[in-house]
Every structure is written in C-alpha cells, then in structure tokens.
Amino acid sequence: MSDDCRSASSIWGDVEYTAIRELRGPLAVVEGVTGVGWDEFVRITLESGEQRHGLVLEVDRGLAVVQVLEDTTGMDPRGIRVAFTGGPLRIPVGPGWLGRVCNGRGDPIDGGPPVFGHTSVAVGGSPINPLRREPPSEPVLTGVGAVDALTTLVRGQKLPVFSTAGLPHLELAAQIAAQSTAGGESFSVVFAGMGLTHPDASFVRDALEERSAAGELVLLLNTADDPVIERILTPRLALTIAEELAFTSGRHVLVVMSDMTSYAEALREVSAARGEIPARRAYPGYLYSDLASLYERCGRLRGRPGSVTVLPVLTMPAGDITHPVPDLTGYITEGQIVLSRETHALGVYPPVDALSSLSRLMRKGAGPGRTRADHLDIAAQLLAALARARQVRELADLVGEAALSPTDRRHLVFEEAFLRRFVDQRRDQSRPLDQTLETAWQVLLTLPRSQLSMLPAALLDAHGAREDPGAEEEDSGENSERSMEYGERSMEYDERGAVE
C-alpha cells in the first residue's frame, strides 16, 4: 500500500505539454500526449505562474481529458503547461496530519508548513479483501444519548446521517466528532467538510478546537466557494489519512464526511461536462460504485489494531429519501440516522427520528460485554413503545385524547418524556452511556409494567416498575409541575455528567 518517500520536485515528469485543445466546464483536453495513463495526477502551470492540479479522466490516443480540481476559471489555452506525474495522486500519510487544518486538497490553511509523512500512498485506495476483514464488534460512544442507546455506532461501521436543509445535522456531526471515544483506546477524528459555507466551516473549527489542540483531529475543509471539483478529492484524502492512522498506527479513527450530497453534485457536474449518458436525476450511472469505493473503506482488519468508522452526513434534497444519493447510500451503509423536521420543530435536539433510524451492526457492538447487559432490551422496548405511541397519537388526532384508554394515554406521556427527557440534550453535553440508559429506564417507567414485556422481570423489579405509574399525578393534578421539577433535577445530573 505504501511507497518510498519521494520529494515533491521529483514526481513530475520532465515533459510539459502546451497544446490545449479544449477547455469546457471543469475539463481541459490536452493534445499530443504519449504514455499518459488513466487516473494520473496532473499539474497545470498557468502563464501567470499559478499552479493548478487535475486528474486524468480519459486518455484517447494522444488526447488526455483532465479534470481540473481548482476549476478552469481564468485559464487561457495559450501559455498553459501541463505535466503528468506518471501515477495516481499520492499524499504523504502519518501522524503529521493530526492537529492540522487543511483545505479540500490537503494544503494547510492553519498557517503551518505543508504536511509531511514518512510514506506516501495513492488516495484511491484498494478494496479490502473481504476474507481479511474482522467483523465489527465494539462500540464507539458518541456521548449523544439517542445515538448511543438506539443506533449504537460500531467501530468499523459506516453509518450515515440523513437530514434535510435547515436541520442541525452539522451540529450533530460536529458534536459526535468532538465527543466520541473508544473505551479509553487511542481515538482520532478525520473531519472532511465538502461545500460548507464559511459560517459552517468556522463553526466546525470552533466546535472541534479542543480535539484539534489535543492532536486527535485532522480537519479538511472545502468551502462552498472553493472549487467544486476539489470535493471529489476531499473524502479520498480523508479516508487515505484515516486508513494509515488506523491500520498502521493502531488508532480508532472516525471519519465524518459532510455533506455527501455536495460531493455527488460535483461528480454530476464532471459527468455532465463529459457528456455522459445521465442516469437517475442526471447523476452518473456509476454513482453507486463511486459511493461504495468511499464508504467501504471503513472496517477492521484481522490481526491489525485500529479501525476506520465512517459517518457520512447528507442532506436529502426536498427531504426525499428516495433521491439517488440517500437511496444508494442506504444500499451500501449499515443503517442510517434520520433527522426529522417534526422533532426539530418541537425544539428537541438532536431531532433524531428514532423509528426510521437503524444501526445494522448494533447487535454486534452493544449489549452484554460490549456496553451494558440491558442495553439491547432497553432499545427494543423504547422503539416498540414509541411505535405504539405514534399509533396512539394518530388515533388521538382522530378521536381526541379523552376517548383513549388509560394505557394509550400513558403512551402519550411516554412519548413526551422520551423526546424531552431522553432524546433532548445540549449541544455541548456529553452524556455517559450509563446515564443515557438510566434516563431511558426513567422514561420507560412512565408506562405500566404490563407494557414493558421486552424487559426481564428481574430488571423491572429492580427499577420499581408499576402497573399504575401515573396514578397519583393524575389524581392530584400536579402532573406538569412534578415533571418540571423532575426535569430540572435530571438537568443538574446532566451537567455533572458533562463535567466528568
């Protein structure tokens, strides 16, 4: 996978080509080339001396079609010199990346020197031999209660966040990036921002500052006004850096990639410029394989320490989950965390739609010996009760709450408690798993014991489950006051948890 170190000056061939036949969109067509291979990395020198970079998308006899990462704006076909590296784009890898902030091409924007590494590797990566993969089995704890309890992230998993415009997905991604840990083992985060606005980019920098200062973070930021095509490179750099940190240096690495919809749009732009036959919604037909070549770089390897966990964030255009980007992503990834506009409107953060969210590897990474013995039962019971509560809610909208059975009414109380006490948490609050699960218990105990059939009787006894949990409150009419008081108490507890 690695290669001898080569200094930056020696990788360029001696030959520079000057015949540019065509400039169109992000593409430059170079004439008269010989021996240029597909996917080679290209350096373009403008007359002004400015340097740009590109990748060979196609070679047809003496013609090379180059995708210019910095875009073709301001390029005049005369006076351009093009040099080919004779190989794919390689970047130096190693712990030198930790603590650095770079743009989407990997050039520092933190005022520091270029990043050096002991070896350089091709950014395209190679598929992991399925036979050499170790099935994921340990959790990454994010400190976000709803995620840890209901869609546990597992080391080596790829778990996307599906969101829509206007929802705090970037806040959630940044919070997960800032707080995640791997049970005391060495942990690092590579955050790849694609098409972020400047306020978003500076938000991410601020939110992750602590982690960066601790030398646990690599930040690659491609902003919305940065060249669009550069975004095609950004996740590949991030994953290449992560693979080395994980499988050579033995760290557990979380790669956050936001926003994958912006990435796919860059891909579409290149495809359109090449005149390829468009597939669904004009995305190229190879979108599935392209996304798979990114997402599938997560995992663990037999006999090697470390893991790469991938958390792509994507906004579904117009909230459409059947849009090609979320649809194909869902095909490849192991579950999804879905954010909901309705929950967001209630002022709950993170606005996770628990019933639509799923971590397919949770059974492997949570439960006895992984997190806590009662974890999976609690999660199953929460989801079952929530599903019932949603049905009841629909019924209540039709017939009115007064017409509901007492059990049904308890489910409405449960849903409220679930959102306000269990899901809702502060954006800078890291909730320990024990506290998350204890809160889950409190929320579940708002239901009559007979409704908690997925929990073992011994645990129900230990937690004092009752058949008439809301009886006194309803009798005395102090329902709202009492729960308010309770809420404040648990808030205090939360803060203590955050300090620890």
Partner 1 sequence: MGAVKAEVSTRVLRVAGPLVEVEYTEGAAMHDLVFLGEAGLPGEVVAISGGIVTVQVYEYTGGLAPGNPARPGGGPLSARLGPGLLGGIFDGLLRPLSGAGDWLVPGAARGVGQDRSWSFAPRVREGARVSEGEELGEVVGAGPVRVRVLVPPGAGGVVERIAGEGGYPQDAVVAVVDGTEVRIGTTWPVRRPRPVRERGGEPAVLSTGQRVIDLLFPVAHGGTVAVPGGFGTGKTVLLQQIAKWCDADVIVYVGCGERGNEMADVIAELPELDDPRTGGRLADRTVTVANTSNMPMMAREASIHTGATVAEYFRDMGLDVVVIADSTSRWAEALREFASRTGELPAEEGYPAGLASAIAAFYERAGAVTTLGGERGSVTVIGAVSPPGGDMTEPVTAHTERFVRCLWSLDRDLAYARHYPALSWSGSFSRDVAALGARQAAVGDPAWPARRARVAALLAEADRLADLVDLIGITALPDQERVSVLAGRLVREGVLQQSALSARDAYCAADKTAALVDAVLTVVDRCRELVDSGVPAAVVEDVDFEPVLRAREEVGPHDSEGVAVRRDAMLARLREVR
Residues at the site binding partner 1, with contacts judged by CB under 8 A: 1, 34-40, 57-62, 86-88, 122, 124-136, 156-157, 247, 276-277, 279-280, 284-286, 288-289, 292-293, 295-299, 301, 304, 321-322, 327, 330-335, 358, 360-361, 364, 387
DSSP 8-state symbol, 418: I
Residue 259 CB partners (closer than 8 Å, separation 6+): 194, 195, 196, 313, 314, 315
Distances (CA, A) of 395 to 181, 316, 392, 443, 444: 42, 29, 5, 22, 21
Q: Which amino acid is at 237?
A: L
Residue 284 makes CB contacts below 8 A (sequence gap 6+) with: 267, 268, 271, 276, 278, 290
Cβ nearer to partner 1, comparing 12 with 288: 288
The smaller minimum CB distance to partner 1, of residues 203 and 288, is found at 288
> Is the link from the previous residue into 350 a cis peptide, with omega within 30 of 0?
yes
How does DSSP assign 323-352, residue by residue? SHHHHHHHHHSSEEEEB-HHHHHTT-SS-B
State in angstroms the smallest separation of the CB of 370 from partner 1: 16
Q: Whose CA is closest to 169, among 349, 317, 342?
A: 349
Instruction: Choose between 315 and 429: whose C-beta lies nearer to partner 1.
Output: 315
Sequence-ordered list of residues with C-beta below 8 angstroms from that of 177, at least 6 positions apart, any chain: 189, 191, 207, 208, 211, 217, 254, 256
Q: Which is nearer to partner 1, 127 or 400 (CB)?
A: 127
Shortest Cβ 262–partner 1 spacing (Å) = 21
Nearer to partner 1, 214 or 282 (CB): 282
Q: For the CB of residue 407, give the shortest distance to partner 1 in the complex, in Å.
A: 16
Would you tell me how many other CB atoms lie within 10 Å of the CB of residue 94? 17
Question: Least distance in Å: CB of 208 to partner 1?
Answer: 27
For Cα atoms 129, 132, 135, give the angle at the middle one, nearest 5 degrees: 110
Separation CA 66–CA 63 (nearest Å): 10
Closest among 313, 308, 297, 361 to 160, alpha carbons compared: 313
> Between 122 and 264, whose beta carbon lies closer to partner 1?
122
Nearest to partner 1 of 59, 348 (CB atom):
59
Using alpha carbons only, how large is the chain's radius of gyration in Å?
Answer: 26
Amino acid at 133: R
With respect to partner 1, which residue has the nearer C-beta, 99 or 156?
A: 156
Residue 116 Cβ vs partner 1, minimum distance, rounded to whole Å: 24
CB of 354 to partner 1, least distance (A): 14
The answer to whether 104 touches 233, Cβ cutoff 8 Å, is yes
Residue 41 phi, psi (nearest 5): -85, 140
Nearer to partner 1, 1 or 457 (CB): 1
CB of 37 to partner 1, least distance (A): 4
Cβ at position 103, least distance to partner 1 in Å: 24
Cα–Cα distance, 161 to 253 (Å, whole number): 18
Three-class SS of residue 447? coil
In order of 2, 234, 270, the CA distances from 106 in angstroms are 18, 8, 21
Q: Tell me the sheet residues that pair with 3.
A: 120
Nearer to partner 1, 281 or 482 (CB): 281
- Given the complex with partner 1, which of 159 and 177 has the nearer CB atom? 159
- Please give the structure tokens belonging to residue 186: 């060495």
CB of 18 to partner 1, least distance (A): 19
Closest separation in Å from C-beta 163 to partner 1: 17
Residue 161, classed as helix, strand or coil, is strand
Report how far residue 146's alpha carbon sits from residue 34's, in angstroms, rounded to the nearest whole number. Answer: 57
Closer to partner 1 by CB, 81 or 363: give it: 363
Output the smallest distance, CB 4 to partner 1, in A: 17
Q: Whole-number minimum distance, CB 60 to partner 1, in Å? A: 4
Residues 267 and 25: beta-carbon distance below 8 Å: no
Q: Which is nearer to partner 1, 332 or 412 (CB)?
A: 332
Q: How far is the CB of 355 from partner 1 (least distance, A)?
A: 10
